[in-house]
């Protein structure tokens, strides 16, 4: 069934526990041990796709030789941190945020993140403004219905000229994911632009993973943006 996007409906669908942080955290605590196996089974490529999109912007802006402070929201096992550390040879400092203590434990043990924060992605009171050069977020907006505060916080913690990149399931996908919230792209874009961000690219990734029940590909959009200098 095709979901039809509506401009007056910023989000469609439901998720685990209707977005309750405790329920989502407990769900991923149970998944943590077999998460990598499951990711391979469903051919989940979110981390590498977002990494490559951001790395292209880093190259354009000659940031490769700088120490980079990165915030990875919904870090899981720290795959995005791993990609950045491999590329930048120790010149990145990754803060990983997750609702699952077990996921954070594995990301820390793998040395993919340097700091672990047990928190959601919509509210970041522990972070001062202008702390990070890059904010990443993959597979997390599936669990966030109200993205207004998410956009406000991401833009707040970014340094001037800082980059952000994330993936999300847009409304109107032919084969929607299971237990995921679908977002209205113009609404999401507008929330970031109202907080001063420039959206650089929004690109469709037609198969970011395979639906674990039906096996059909699930579409995501990759959004990359930046804050003004």
Q: Can you give the residue ranges of every domain in the chain?
A: 13-226
- The pLDDT tens digits of the residues spanning 58-106 come to 999 877 667 999 999 999 999 999 999 999 987 899 999 999 999 999 9
- The pLDDT tens digits of the residues spanning 95-152 come to 999 999 999 999 999 999 999 999 999 999 999 999 999 999 999 998 888 899 999 9
CA atoms within 13 A on the CB side of 20: 7
Q: What CATH number is given for 13-226 in this structure? A: 3.40.50.150
Which of 46, 64, 217, 210 shows the shortest CA–CA distance to 136? 46
- Residue 179 pLDDT grade (very low, low, confident, very high; cuts 50, 70, 90): low
Q: Tell me phi and psi for residue 150, to 5 degrees.
A: -55, -50
The pTM of the full predicted model, rounded to 2 decimals, is 0.90
């Amino acid at each position: 069934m095709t979901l039809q996007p509506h401009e007056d409906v910023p989000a469609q669908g439901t998720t685990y526990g209707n977005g309750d942080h405790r329920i989502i955290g407990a769900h991923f605590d149970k998944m943590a041990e077999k998460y990598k196996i499951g990711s391979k089974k469903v051919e989940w490529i979110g981390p590498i796709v977002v990494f490559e999109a951001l790395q292209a912007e880093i190259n354009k802006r000659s940031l490769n030789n700088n120490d980079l402070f990165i915030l990875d929201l919904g870090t899981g096992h720290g795959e995005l941190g791993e990609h950045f550390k491999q590329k930048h040879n120790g010149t990145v400092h990754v803060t990983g945020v997750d609702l699952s203590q077990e996921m954070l434990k594995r990301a820390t043990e793998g040395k993919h993140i340097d700091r672990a924060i047990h928190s959601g992605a919509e509210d970041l009171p522990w972070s001062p403004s202008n702390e990070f050069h890059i904010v990443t977020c993959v597979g997390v907006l599936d669990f966030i219905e109200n993205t207004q505060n998410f956009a406000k916080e991401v833009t707040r913690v970014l340094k001037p000229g800082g980059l952000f990149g994330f993936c999300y399931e847009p409304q109107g996908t032919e084969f929607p994911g299971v237990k995921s919230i679908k977002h209205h792209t113009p609404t999401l874009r507008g929330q970031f632009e109202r907080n001063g961000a420039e959206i650089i690219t929004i690109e469709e990734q037609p198969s970011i993973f395979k639906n674990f029940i039906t096996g059909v590909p699930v579409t995501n959009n990759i959004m990359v943006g930046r804050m003004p200098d």
